[in-house]
Amino acid sequence: MLIARWLALLLLLAAAMLFALYAATGQAHYKRLGLAILQWTTLAAVFFFAVILVERLT
C-alpha cells in the first residue's frame, strides 16, 4: 500500500514537471508525455480503488 502511494505521488510529480517544462520551453513533446503519464496514473488509481472496493464488499 505504501509503495503504491509513493509511486502514484512520484508519477504525478513527474507529470507536473513535464508540464512545467512545456510551459517554459513550448515544446509539445513535453505536454504529450505529461498527459500520457497523467492518463495512465489516473487509470491505475481507478483500478487500485476498484480492487479495494471489491475487497471490502466480499
| Res. 49: pLDDT tops 80 | yes
Would residue 31 count as lying in a domain?
Answer: yes
Q: What is the pTM of this model?
A: 0.81
Report the C-alpha gap between 49 and 32 in whole angstroms.
26
Would residue 53 count as lying in a domain?
Answer: yes
Number of structural domains the chain divides into: 1
* Residue of 4 and 50 predicted with greater confidence: 50
pLDDT tens string 17-36:
999 999 999 999 999 999 99
Torsion, CA 47, CA 52, CA 54, CA 57, rounded to 10: -160
* pLDDT the model gives residue 2: 83
Would residue 4 count as lying in a domain?
Answer: no
Would residue 2 count as lying in a domain?
Answer: no
Domain residues for the domain of 40 are 10-57
